[in-house]
Amino acid sequence: MGKMGNGVLEYLQAAALQERNPHRRADYQIAARIVDHCQKGDAVECSPHVLATYEVLGWHPDKVWSQIVKHRKAVLRDEYDYWYDAAGNPRNSISDYDPVRVPKKPPAKAVPRFIPAKRQASV
């Protein structure tokens, strides 16, 4: 691939190192490995993107989404339906959603504040 391929590979590797969002970082890593496999020609029994996805995530690309949903359900248990719909999409969709920040869980029910009774002065 030559100089152009090397420049793309270097860009993707640098972007992966700087990315805070773990999902985007994995995307950069997969893209860098795809470029690397294309340069080397070593993805013989499958396509470069399938091999790269297996290397980074450990799953076939067709199974990634179902594994993400499975993991979310295991972590959230009974709260999964509060946060995600049946297709696995966030219910409270925010345009600048950042999975690095964990959303605050709303309280199950309002908890009354404890206000101590005023003491009467002793006579």
The reply to whether 68 and 34 lie within a common domain is: no
The reply to whether 33 and 53 lie within a common domain is: yes
Would residue 106 count as lying in a domain? Answer: no
Helix H segments across 2-120? 2-18, 22-40, 48-57, 64-76, 80-83
Give 49's pLDDT tier (boundaries 50, 70, 90): very high
Range of the domain at 7: 1-58
The reply to whether 51 and 68 lie within a common domain is: no
The reply to whether 37 and 51 lie within a common domain is: yes
Would residue 16 count as lying in a domain? Answer: yes
Would residue 104 count as lying in a domain? Answer: no
The pTM of the full predicted model, rounded to 2 decimals, is 0.64
The reply to whether 64 and 15 lie within a common domain is: no
- Which tokens belong to 112? 């009354």
What pLDDT is recorded for position 111?
53
Closest CA relative to residue 102, chosen from 75, 74, 68, 81: 75
The reply to whether 53 and 68 lie within a common domain is: no
Q: How many domains does the chain have?
A: 2
The reply to whether 51 and 64 lie within a common domain is: no
Max CA separation in the chain (angstroms): 94
C-alpha distance from residue 55 to each of 24, 35, 52, 82 (Å): 16, 13, 5, 33
pLDDT tens digits for 71-114? Answer: 999 999 888 988 888 888 888 755 555 666 665 665 555 555 55
The reply to whether 34 and 85 lie within a common domain is: no
